[in-house]
Structure 1
Amino acid sequence: MPKYIAALFILFISLNVQAQTWEVGGSAGMAGYIGDLNVNNPVKPSGGFAGLFVKRNFNRYLAAKLSYSFGQISGDDITSDYQQFRDRNLSFTTPLKELSLVAEFNFMSYIPDAGKNLYTPYIYAGGGFTSFAPRAMLNGNQVGLRQLRTEGQASPYAKYTLVLPFGAGIKYNISGKWTLAADIGYRITRTDYLDDVSGTYAPASALPNATAVQLADRSINKIGTPGTQRGDYRPRDFYIFAGFTISYTFVTQQCYY
């Protein structure tokens, strides 16, 4: 865990506030991404995710949430509305494993089974890191792309990226100490290779093997002239988790006051 996440977690659990309660739960829903194979649709689904979390509620408004989520995103040029993308003919699938710590703020006073409000909208923001491993299909087999250095990189890009999660949602006290919530959250990453696409086509001589040559330029007409545009030149990719969470809160007697 990066030092800044550990420091943030220690800071939250050491705050001297009243009515501290613990909450545990799970989440599931759709995953999507914004990058070189999806440049302009911020809510396009391309996979799913599921996760578990533990939360420390410091009071009726503020909480810290530690989550582990597994998801998958994908993209395929052949489904694009734009002819130049269909001509490029790239595709990928990327599993994601995210560990994050966020601060969550309720707009209304909320403690399940112990407060006057049954629901509240909320927002959250924080930090974390995510492992990713883009893959593509070749002759019916799934091939890892990182080690192929498909854009002629001197070395493979990192397996992990720092992420900055932020989002909003609404939660509802469905019964007793049980809460159901729906939210959408974006992750700003520090990489442009969630999809293995970033800059320009590389000459075959800069690629490590024949498999890399095949997967670097998958166009039918072999449009990948070295030095011409392969990606969208934006410096980083984003991904999205949107769905539902269900959780149970261990409400202490102090919360009723």
Structure 2
Amino acid sequence: MAKYLAIILLILFCYNVRAQSWEVGGFAGGSGYMGDLNPNNPLKVSGIAAGGFIKRNINGYVSIRAGYTYGKISAADSTSGGNQQFRDRNLSFTTRLSEISLTGEFNFLKYIPSVSHDIYTPFIYAGIGYTAYNPQANYQGKTYDLRPLTTEGQSTPYPNSTIVAPFGVGIKYNVAGRLSLIADLGYRVAFTDYLDDVSGVYVDKSNLSGVVAKALSDRSGEKTGIYTGSAGTQRGDLRKRDTYLFVGFSISYTFITPKCYF
């Protein structure tokens, strides 16, 4: 899937690169996640995000965007101030995300920097993407990749990449000439429940190989010595998919000549 998306991005970039309705830009902001360690707060930012994009503006309302975004998400049960059950579970993770995406945008107002009457517009977008991820956790001063440890007793490690469905909202403002300042908030529904290495139930530790795998499968007793993760009991929230978000600002430049729109 990643190969095919990369080909699409290359075609979009190479096709008629001299066309005056192309746009390029860069993004910076924050990233967050909703899943088994954060099931209720859709706006919680836990890391940084940055990326770039190219865009084909079909007209003042519709455009197609190809982009790359890097982000970092994390969560820890120990910081769950209002949920004793989470604090007792004591799981944690950090994941670096590397995403390529292809999305369609729709402007609510006709927006062509330095040409149209409207100097701003709200917009929405949706599309498809592909994300590489690798959940990790710190244990006794060291960082471990969680995927190969199969902490829930998987017969084989889960994939380290997934298809995602991006969607979001934002606003564009023509700050000067052909420059636009863009603010947006976008979510990605991941077709995996393992961005955080947590999904289903606790496994019998005798089925795990290695001291580290056994320790990271159930961390409930690290401070108290009392381990509550009995085999077959709930470890995750049992929802099938994790979600992550990117929020921030972009600066873009649009290549325009009058013949594009007249």
* 1:72 partnered with 2:72: yes
Distance apart, 1:9 and its partner CA:
8.8
Q: Which residue of 1 aligns with 2:211?
A: 210
Distance in 2 between the 1:120 and 1:12 partners?
25
SS in 2 for 1:232: coil
- Give the direction of change, closer, same or farther, for the CA distance of 1:31–1:139 in structure 2 (3 Å limit): same
Distance in 2 between the 1:34 and 1:6 partners?
30
Are 1:12 and 1:64, in contact at CA under 8 Å, matched by a contact in 2? no
Are 1:115 and 1:256, in contact at CA under 8 Å, matched by a contact in 2? no
Distance in 2 between the 1:104 and 1:10 partners?
19
* 1:36 partnered with 2:36: yes
Q: Which residue of 1 aligns with 2:154?
A: 153
1:129-148 matched pairs, under 5 angstroms: 129-148=130-149
The code of the aligned residue for 2:135 comes to P
In structure 2, stretches of 5+ residues that fail to align are none
Distance in 2 between the 1:134 and 1:248 partners?
35
CA RMSD of aligned residues (A): 2.0
Distance in 2 between the 1:11 and 1:245 partners?
20
TM-superposition CA deviations, 1:170-214 (whole Å, max 9, x none): 000000000001010000110000000000111112212111001
Are 2:20 and 2:255, in contact at CA under 8 Å, matched by a contact in 1? no
* 1:163 partnered with 2:164: yes
Distance in 2 between the 1:4 and 1:142 partners?
31
Are 1:199 and 1:232, in contact at CA under 8 Å, matched by a contact in 2? yes
Structure 1 residue aligned with 2:252, among 218, 237, 247?
A: 247
Distance in 2 between the 1:58 and 1:6 partners?
20
- Give the direction of change, closer, same or farther, for the CA distance of 1:7–1:48 in structure 2 (3 Å limit): closer
Distance apart, 1:3 and its partner CA:
4.2
Distance in 1 between the 2:173 and 2:196 partners?
36
Q: Which residue of 1 aligns with 2:62?
A: 62
Are 1:36 and 1:232, in contact at CA under 8 Å, matched by a contact in 2? yes
SS in 2 for 1:86: helix
* 1:191 partnered with 2:196: no
Distance in 1 between the 2:99 and 2:9 partners?
17
Distance apart, 1:44 and its partner CA:
0.8
Q: Which residue of 1 aligns with 2:88?
A: 87
Distance in 2 between the 1:102 and 1:5 partners?
14
Distance in 2 between the 1:228 and 1:111 partners?
56
- Give the direction of change, closer, same or farther, for the CA distance of 1:140–1:12 in structure 2 (3 Å limit): closer
Q: Percent identity?
A: 55
Distance in 2 between the 1:21 and 1:119 partners?
17
Normalising by structure 2, we get a TM-score of 0.92
Distance apart, 1:30 and its partner CA:
1.1
- Give the direction of change, closer, same or farther, for the CA distance of 1:122–1:7 in structure 2 (3 Å limit): same
Are 1:9 and 1:101, in contact at CA under 8 Å, matched by a contact in 2? no
> Size of the alignment, in residue pairs?
254
In structure 1, stretches of 5+ residues that fail to align are none
Distance apart, 1:253 and its partner CA:
2.4
Distance in 1 between the 2:188 and 2:29 partners?
15
- Give the direction of change, closer, same or farther, for the CA distance of 1:24–1:11 in structure 2 (3 Å limit): closer
SS in 2 for 1:147: helix
Distance apart, 1:119 and its partner CA:
0.2
TM-superposition CA deviations, 1:124-171 (whole Å, max 9, x none): 000010000000001111110000000000000001100000001000
